[in-house]
């Protein structure tokens, strides 16, 4: 059993942030003004779609939100699959993100914005009305530290049950269960398998596996999110001369991997220090990818795969 200090999990819960502002009903408001009725479908049935956006301070003092257009496009795709209308243009979405970012910016921290499209009226797809809510949370600038990861007994639902392509809170119920399971076993993150017993992804990030100098990650058809960060990492790897491939990954390969890591908006490129109590050696390839990713999003070494929308100030 991996040993860990159980109090760290309680501290993480206690320190959940409560920002001063929220974007709700079309404008930035005080946090407590964001209120929904308990009878709406987003509460009763968990009907919503969302995006997680990350912003980074740049060397010239500007603040840039990463790949904002691509997040908007994915939000629209998720909404289409769940029959949720997206009643705003990209320009309106961008301005809303700028507004909440400007309200919550701290020069000492980066920023994570959760853009959630809640269903506020309608019943089983009839008369559906949605509202965009943006919340913003301070994020430390430090690089992510290696973590201990386990294999969950819970599984990603198949495409015909709840498609992983829909970035919805409903799809994160299994993540919640896997997190609770992992916490009981002393792991900071868990890997989910799909209904065929192959690797899907982590509970909130995509898997990166290195074997014989090549980086692999499961495709969306295996139950992984259509990840924007993973696309960026793949482009960075190619530009660095590192072979990168999306293909199915068997469970047994996780125990044979030379390196393992996770990638996502919040995790950037996070190294897996141990998997199911199996210690992993140094990770030169994923470490290099992680450094290159942060250099790109922070504007230190720009890359065409990383588009930044600068918040007007």
Distances (CA, A) of 223 to 6, 31, 196: 31, 35, 10
Share of the chain above pLDDT 90, in %: 92
The ranges assigned to domains in the chain are 7-139, 147-297
The mean pLDDT of 43-70, rounded to a whole number, is: 97
| pLDDT for res 238 | 98
pTM for the structure as a whole: 0.92
Residue 19, C-beta contacts closer than 8 angstroms, at least 6 positions apart: 31, 104, 135, 136, 137
**262 DSSP β-pair partners:** 207, 270
pLDDT at 313: 86
Q: Which fold has domain 147-297?
A: D-amino Acid Aminotransferase; Chain A, domain 2 (3.20.10)
User: Hey, which residues does 264 pair with through a beta bridge?
Assistant: 268
- How far apart are the C-alpha atoms of 37 and 307, rounded to whole Å? 37
**Which class does domain 7-139 fall in?**
alpha beta
User: Looking at residue 2, what is its pLDDT?
Assistant: 44
Tell me: pLDDT of 15 over 90: no
DSSP-assigned states of every residue in the chain: -----THHHHHHHHT----SEEEETTEEEEGGG----TTSHHHHT--EEEEEEEEEE-TTS-EEEETHHHHHHHHHHHHHHTT----S-HHHHHHHHHHHHHHH--TTSEEEEEEEEEEEEEETTEEEEEEEEEEEEEE--SPPPPEEEEEEEEEPPPTTTS-TTS--GGGGHHHHHHHHHHHHHT-SEEEEE-TTSBEEEESSSEEEEEETTEEEE--GGGT----HHHHHHHHHHHHTT--EEE---BHHHHTT-SEEEEEETTTEEEEEEEETTEE----HHHHHHHHHHHHHHTTSS--TT--EEEPP-
- Backbone φ, ψ for residue 213 (5° rounding): 80, 0
- The closest alpha carbon to 63, from 297, 289, 303, belongs to 297
Q: Is it the case that residue 171 has pLDDT exceeding 80?
A: yes
258-286 residue pLDDT tens: 999 999 999 999 999 999 999 998 999 99
Yes or no: say if 145 and 155 are a contact pair by the CB < 8 Å rule.
no
Burial of 177 (0-12, 13-18, 19+ CB in 10 A): middle
Contacts of 169 (CB under 8 A, 6+ apart): 46, 48, 50, 116
Beta bridge partners of 55: 65, 111
pLDDT at 70 exceeding the cut of 60: yes
From residue 293, how far is each of 57, 142, 224 by CA, in Å?
14, 13, 20
Question: Angle, to 10 degrees, between the axis of helix 228-239 and the axis of helix 284-297?
Answer: 110
- What average pLDDT is seen over the chain? 94
What is the model's pLDDT at position 9? 40
Query: What is the predicted pLDDT for the residue at 115?
Result: 98
- Distance, in Å, from the CA atom of 67 to the CA atom of 18, rounded to the nearest integer, reads 25
Q: Which residue reads 């939100």 in tokens?
A: 65
């Amino acid at each position: 059993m991996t040993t860990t200090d159980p109090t760290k999990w309680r501290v993480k819960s206690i320190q959940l942030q409560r920002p001063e502002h929220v974007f709700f009903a079309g404008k930035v408001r005080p946090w407590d003004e964001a209120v929904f009725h308990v009878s709406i479908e987003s509460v009763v049935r968990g009907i919503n779609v969302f995006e997680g956006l990350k912003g980074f301070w740049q060397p010239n003092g500007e603040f840039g939100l990463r790949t904002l257009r691509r997040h908007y496009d994915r939000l629209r795709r998720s909404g289409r699959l769940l029959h949720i209308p997206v009643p705003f243009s990209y320009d309106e979405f961008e301005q809303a993100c700028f507004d909440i970012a400007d309200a919550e910016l701290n020069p000492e921290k980066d920023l994570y914005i959760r853009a959630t499209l809640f269903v506020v009226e309608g019943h089983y797809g009839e008369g559906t009305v949605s509202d965009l809510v943006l919340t913003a949370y301070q994020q430390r600038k430090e690089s992510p530290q290696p973590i201990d990861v386990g294999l969950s007994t819970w599984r990603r639902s198949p495409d015909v049950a709840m498609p992983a392509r829909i970035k919805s809170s409903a799809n994160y119920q299994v993540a919640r269960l896997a997190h609770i399971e992992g916490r009981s076993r002393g792991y900071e993150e868990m890997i989910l398998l799909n209904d065929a017993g192959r690797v899907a992804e982590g509970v909130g990030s995509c898997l990166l596996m290195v074997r014989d100098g090549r980086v692999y990650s499961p495709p969306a058809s295996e139950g992984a999110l259509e990840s924007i960060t993973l696309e960026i990492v793949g482009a960075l790897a190619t530009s660095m001369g590192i072979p990168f491939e999306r293909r199915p990954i068997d469970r047994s390969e996780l125990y044979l991997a030379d390196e393992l890591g996770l990638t996502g908006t919040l995790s950037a490129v996070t190294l897996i220090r141990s998997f199911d109590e199996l210690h992993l050696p140094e990770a030169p390839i994923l470490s290099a990818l992680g450094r290159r990713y942060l250099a790109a999003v922070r504007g230190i070494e720009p890359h065409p795969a990383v588009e930044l929308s600068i918040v007007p100030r």
